Amino acid sequence: MSGTPKIEYGAGDGLINERSLEACKVWSDEQKQPIHAKAYPRVNHMTILSNRNVLRDVAQLAASG
């Protein structure tokens, strides 16, 4: 590789690019188990595990089976 790498910024949570965050959606066509993907506005990669809405939704999914 020659030259200087080009840095491009895109949509995401400030740490991970949106395209990478949504990669799990591809699995829905590759398995029979459902994939649950949801965006949480103003929740970033570092605060997601302390967000009440995220924790509620994860608990509901875990309880449903």
Q: Contact, 24 vs 16, CB < 8 A?
A: no
The C-alpha atoms of residue 54 and residue 20 are separated, in whole angstroms, by 19
Mean pLDDT, range 6-20, rounded to an integer: 79
- pLDDT tens-digit map of 16-54: 788 888 888 888 888 888 888 898 988 888 898 999 999
Q: What is the pLDDT of residue 28?
A: 85
Q: Contact, 43 vs 13, CB < 8 A?
A: yes
